[in-house]
Amino acid sequence: MGGSSPCASCKLLRRRCAKDCIFAPYFPPDDPHKFAIVHKVFGASNVSKILQELPIHQRADAVSSLVYEANARVRDPVYGCVGAISYLQNQVSQLQMQLAVAQAEILCIQMQQEPNLPTQIDQDEKSLLLSSNFNNNIPQYLGFASSSTVNQDPLKRESLWT
Partner 1 sequence: MNSGRCAACKYLRRRCPSDCIFSPYFPPNDHQRFACVHRIYGASNVGKMLQQIPSHDLRAKAADTLYFEAKYRIQDPVYGCVGMITQLHQQIHSAESELAKTQAQIAFLNSNDHAQESQVQNIETKLHPDSNILILPEQTNAAGGLWSYVPASATSTDQTSWF
Q: Which of 36, 69, 121, 129 binds partner 1 (CB under 8 A)?
A: 69
In 31-112 the beta strands, taken as DSSP E runs, fall at: none
Count Cβ neighbours within 10 Å for each residue of 65-88 and write b for 16 or more, e otherwise: ebbbbbbbbebbeebbbbbbbbbb
Stretch near partner 1 under the rule CB under 8 A, chosen from 1-9, 11-19, 21-29, 110-118:
110-118
* Alpha-carbon torsion (36, 34, 145, 46), positive or negative: negative
The residue among 41, 49, 44 whose CA lies nearest residue 80 is 41
Burial class for 63, CB neighbours closer than 10 Å (0-12, 13-18, 19+): buried
By CB under 8 A, is residue 154 in contact with partner 1? no
How far apart are alpha carbons 43 and 24 in whole angstroms?
16
Helix/strand number for the chain, H first, E second = 7, 0
By CB under 8 A, is residue 37 in contact with partner 1? no
By CB under 8 A, is residue 91 in contact with partner 1? yes
At closest approach, how far in Å is the CB of 76 from partner 1? 9
By CB under 8 A, is residue 132 in contact with partner 1? no
By CB under 8 A, is residue 79 in contact with partner 1? yes
At closest approach, how far in Å is the CB of 139 from partner 1? 9
Q: Are 143 and 117 in contact (CB under 8 A)?
A: no
Q: Which of 4, 5, 119, 135 binds partner 1 (CB under 8 A)?
A: 135
The residue (of 31 and 53) whose beta carbon lies closer to partner 1 is 53
Residues that bind partner 1 (CB under 8 A): 40-43, 45-46, 50, 53-54, 58, 61-62, 65-66, 68-69, 73, 77-85, 88-89, 91-92, 95-96, 98-99, 102-103, 105-106, 109-110, 112-113, 128, 134-135, 137-138, 141, 144, 147, 155-157, 160
